[in-house]
Amino acid sequence: MPRTALVLGGNRGIGLAVARHLAARGDRVAVSHRTDEPPAGLFAVRCDVTDAGAVTEACAQVKAELGPVEVLVHNAGITRDRPFAAMTAEDFEAPLHTNLLGAYHGIKPVLRGMMRARWGRIVLMSSTVALSGAVGQTNYAASKAGLIGFARSLALEVAGHGITVNVVAPGYTDTDMVAAMPEEKRQSLLATVPMRRMATPGEVAAAVGYLTGEDSGYVTGTVLQVDGGVGMGH
């Protein structure tokens, strides 16, 4: 059954792959975009996920155009890597605002509609770093680990309403975020991955596709790692 889906941070990278995956299976898909031009062929709304009012307005636009949001994917994310000793409060807060608070802003306007419909799928994009930690990423890891506690608590609150809340934790994935790393660091990180390669955005999108589909109604509060084996055992 086609559903209305909103991918926050859906204009490039993993988010765009998720949007295309959901559109290919027949969902009515909206993406949020912030700086770039919106991607072709998808309904796009402009918002910065750190701005609660803008996200609420974007959700209202999606509802007016495509119907109430039934599938929400919070994918928007940033890094602001620094050794902790050199990290300012602003450096620490920036990923928390986008990665964690952005999830609050995205879910708040759509949850009551899902509860009324007694059906909903929420996926939050975390990272293996939430589980393992990473040098220079105290801020990012805190934001991504926070998403797990958030998802599990919300999953408990809304399970009786037919709504699932899950987390996807990708490992290194071939997008702009990883391209921004120095080549030497990238190679040394890849050496730690059992599969010795990065994920493709499509492989992460397929995991989101499962967790937002009709067949995953009994899967909630889980963390699905898509990481080539790097986070095994967490």
Residue selected from 106, 109, 120, 170 as contacting ligand NDP according to rule CB under 6 A: 170
Min. distance of Cβ 27 from ligand NDP in angstroms? 18
SS (H, E, C) the chain: CCCEEEEECCCCHHHHHHHHHHHHCCCEEEEEECCCCCCCCCEEEECCCCCHHHHHHHHHHHHHHHCCCCEEEECCCCCCCCCHHHCCHHHHHHHHHHHHHHHHHHHHHHHHHHHHHCCEEEEEECCCHHHHCCCCCHHHHHHHHHHHHHHHHHHHHHHHHCEEEEEEEECCECCHHHHCCCHHHHHHHHCCCCCCCCECHHHHHHHHHHHCCHHHCCCCCCEEEECCCCCCCC
| Sole window of 111-119, 131-139, 167-175, 217-225 interacting with ligand NDP (rule: CB under 6 A) | 167-175
Choose, from 140, 172, 210, 218, the residue flagged as catalytic: 140
User: Total binding residues for ligand NDP by CB under 6 A?
Assistant: 28
Question: Where in 119-158 is the site for ligand NDP (CB under 6 A)?
Answer: 125, 127
The correct pick among 5, 28, 98, 107 for binding ligand NDP (CB under 6 A) is 98
Q: Which is nearer to ligand NDP, 12 or 63 (CB)?
A: 12
Active site residue 172: no
When binding is defined by CB under 6 A, the residue of 2, 39, 48, 96 that contacts ligand NDP is 48
Pick 14 or 114: Cβ nearer ligand NDP? 14
Q: Where do contacts with ligand NDP occur on this chain (CB under 6 A)?
A: 9, 11-15, 32-36, 48-50, 75-78, 98, 125, 127, 170, 172-173, 175-178
Q: Which residues are catalytic?
A: 140
